[in-house]
Structure 1
Amino acid sequence: MIQIDTKAYILRSFADILFFYILFLSVNKHGTIKTRLLFVVFILPITFIVQLFSGFSDIIPILLGYILLKTKRKNDYVLLSDLLICMFITYMISIFSSMIMLLLVSNVHTVGFGYVFIQLFLNGLLISTYLFFYKKKKLYLLVEKYSSESTSFLLTHLFLVTLLISYAAHYYDAYDHFIVGIIVFLVIQTGGVIFLFLKMLSAQKEKYQQQLKQQQLISLKKYTEQLEQNQEQLSKFRHDYKNLLLSLKETANIENNSSLLTQLVYLEEYSKSYLSNKTFDYRNFNKIENDYLKSLLISKFYHANKQQVFCQFECSKPICDIPIPIFDCVRIVGILLDNAIEAARESQGMSLSLMIYQDESQLEFLIENNCCQTDISIDTFKKKGMTTKEGHSGLGLSTIQDFNQKNTNMFIQYKKENTIFSTQLILMKHKEEIR
């Protein structure tokens, strides 16, 4: 076992603590100049003194530093993450440099200041390298983005395990003999923490996406409710406007006012294009009892009408239960309608029809639209990235295929005859729903 001269050991201990403060203050800008100065002048000496008598002194700068530098009343996970990460990096660099030095002086039993100065130089070099990549790769953005209660818990676990292992190794004078094992153990622990972090991140991301989708559907629902109200008001106005014109024309005829009659006829012709009865009646969707699906259909048909696509809709029975997750259903039907509207708009017929039918065993969507003549097969359109539209990603039908694999009770069929393209989407009801 290698022994270090007492004075040299004290110097190395102080330098290790100093490296942590340099590293932390370089990557973290929390606190005022006064509090940061107090953090160094007050807490560093306390840490050093406690380290001479205890192996748990590293808890002090983390605990007191968090209390001193936290400027908000709420928890500051970025600050806590920086403290824990910097302490862990300091540990790993010290252990790594110690392993290298042991390989260089394996036959020496007592070392002094020369050994310590070389190791400290190596520690400084490694810390400088870490800071270089930290700033160049903008790792601080990752810390700010992923700092949370869960990541702080994982980092605290990693810090405490490292602290206990280091303390035990020094307590039983086994640090030199088991340094390689300590490194392997810490690497395994770090890998486990990273794995758990990625799992939690994935779950958190999925939860966020679900919330985002739900918020989008809620916004769509509010938007389509406004559309329904506007159309109802427009229908009332159209009815009253026609009655008013008819009344004025009768008055003009009775008074034999040909000039007024001519102006009224001109006004009637002029307003026909703006008050046309060809606008789609969204009350047809009242049988769609699921608000999200109803909102989607109203929105899509509204935009189709705006693009001069003639739309037809048929639904004979109330639609309430959807056999697949509503988010999936909305995305699937949305993609199919987007494709149908785009194809119809580019065709000569410019028409689109949607029929929704359900019985005790299934829910069926049948979409038919006009399309241009093309020699491209349907199987080709299903491939990822395939599209005939400039500026489109071509992920529509390939995304539908992904949903088809996800939902085993979903069946979809495409058919093209001359300039008519039809899509049949069947959602089979589960046995408990059929009952």
Structure 2
Amino acid sequence: MEAEIAQLKEYSDYLDKNEDELRNFKHDYQDILNGLRISAEEGNIKAVVQQLAKYTDSQVDDKSLRKYQDVNHIHVDELKSIAITKLAKLYNEQFPYSFGCNVEIYRIPQSVNILDIVRIIGITFNNAIEESRKFSDKSNAKVDAMYYQEDGNFEFKIRNKIVNDTKLSTNILSKEGYSTKKNHAGIGLANIKRIESKYEECMLINYGIEDGWFTFDLEIMPDNENMEEE
């Protein structure tokens, strides 16, 4: 709990810091352009472009800006918290990753306990991180995840690169007690299947291994009542 609180505080500080930096950068950029106008008018366009590129690289940390990309669109605290926690883990372990949420999510279907959704998201992120650690070169690992919502549903998708020698079927992976991690009591998919069995009418889960990727899709069907922003 203390670690999660610390990560949420870090996220808040991150937003404040980057908002100020981007505002200052935007404010200064016009002055920079004015300062380079003479060089441009004299035809030295190449030098102008090089100076702008150098200044931009020195002022904007692109990787840092992408650390929590799109998390600001999530307005359900539990979903935001688990995303921040796992993205921070990926960032700190220096694995390539992406996260997307291009719609504002204020409310999710009430037919599924939010803690079960968080548990599923946590398990799949943990599995992706565990698999990524198997790569001798971290740059060969990759994790892509996203939240999405349309017509009152909720969708979570995640995929991760798998090492070349991972040739296990998802049927084996989801068996009770099976794990690719030594002394580990199950890879987590068995736990997900147990959760899914409680919500057969409103939860859809698909996962599989193809072309070097493990993919996992979760969809919670919409409630009958209309969504309302909180």
Partner of 2:41: none
Determine if the alignment matches structure 1 residue 344 to structure 2 residue 136.
no
Q: Which residue in 1 is equivalent to 2:63? A: 278
List per-residue Cα deviations over 1:49-73 (Å, max 9, x = no partner). xxxxxxxxxxxxxxxxxxxxxxxxx
Kindly indicate which of the two structures has a greater share of residues assigned to helix. 1
- What is the match of residue 210 of structure 2? 417
- Aligned equivalents of 1:331, 1:320: Cα separation in 2: 19
Shift of 1:225: 2.5
Q: Hey, what's the Cα distance between the residues in 2 that align with 1:322 and 1:378? A: 28
Matched, 1:305 2:96: no
Taking only aligned residues, the RMSD between alpha carbons, in angstroms, comes to 3.0
Which one scores higher on RCO, CA 8 angstroms, separation ≥ 6? Answer: 2
Evaluate the alpha carbon distance shift between residue 292 and residue 375 of structure 1 in structure 2; reply closer, same or farther with a 3 A threshold. Answer: same
Aligned to 1:407: 199
- 1:222 partner letter: I
**Runs of 5+ unmatched residues, structure 1:** 1-215, 244-271
**Greater Rg over alpha carbons, structure:** 1
Cα offset for 1:426? 1.0
Greater strand share, structure number? 2
TM-score, length-scaled by structure 2: 0.71
After superposition, where does 1:16-35 map in structure 2 within 5 Å? none
The one-letter code matched in structure 2 to 1:379 is N
Q: Does 1:362 align with 2:153?
A: yes
Contact between 1:308 and 1:350, CA under 8 Å: does it hold in 2? no
Deviation for aligned residue 1:224: 3.2
How many Å separate the matches in 2 of 1:319 and 1:393? 34
- For 1:109-128, what aligned pairs fall within 5 Å after superposition? none
In structure 2, do the counterparts of structure 1 residues 236 and 294 end up closer, same or farther at CA, with 3 Å as the change threshold?
A: closer
Q: Over residues 220-278 of structure 1, what are the superposed CA-to-partner deviations in whole Å (9 max), with x where a residue is unaligned?
A: 663333111332465479778xx9xxxxxxxxxxxxxxxxxxxxxxxxxxxx8xx9532
Q: Whole-Å Cα distance in 2 between the matches of residues 433 and 391 of structure 1?
A: 47
The CA deviation string for residues 22-80 of structure 1, in whole angstroms up to 9 with x for no partner, is xxxxxxxxxxxxxxxxxxxxxxxxxxxxxxxxxxxxxxxxxxxxxxxxxxxxxxxxxxx
Task: Tell me the equivalent position of 2:177.
Answer: 385
Q: 1:306 to 1:221 in 2, by over 3 A?
A: closer
TM-score, structure 1 as length reference = 0.39
Runs of 4+ aligned residues of structure 1 deviating over 4 Å after TM superposition are 236-240
1:320 Cα deviation after fit:
2.2
> Which residue of 2 is the match for residue 229 of structure 1?
12
Which residue pairs with 2:220 in the alignment? 427
Deviation digits for residues 143-168 of structure 1 (CA, Å, limit 9, x no counterpart): xxxxxxxxxxxxxxxxxxxxxxxxxx
State the secondary structure of the residue aligned to 1:431: coil
5 Å-filtered alignment, 1:40-59, equals none
Deviation at 1:365, TM superposition (A): 1.1
Given that 2:67 and 2:87 are in contact with CA atoms closer than 8 Å, whether structure 1 keeps it comes out as no
1:109 matched to which residue of 2?
Answer: none
Letter in 2 for 1:304: L
CA distance 1:225–1:411, change in 2 (3 Å):
same
* Structure 1 residue 342: Cα displacement: 1.8
Is this contact kept in 2: 1:220–1:295, CA < 8 A? no
Count the aligned residue pairs: 189
Q: Give the match for residue 12 of structure 1.
A: none
Taking the aligned partners of 1:328 and 1:392, their CA distance within structure 2 comes to 21
Q: Residue 221 of structure 1 contacts residue 292 of structure 1 at CA under 8 Å; is this kept in 2?
A: no
Describe the superposition over 1:168-189 as per-residue Cα deviations: whole angstroms up to 9, x where unpaired.
Answer: xxxxxxxxxxxxxxxxxxxxxx
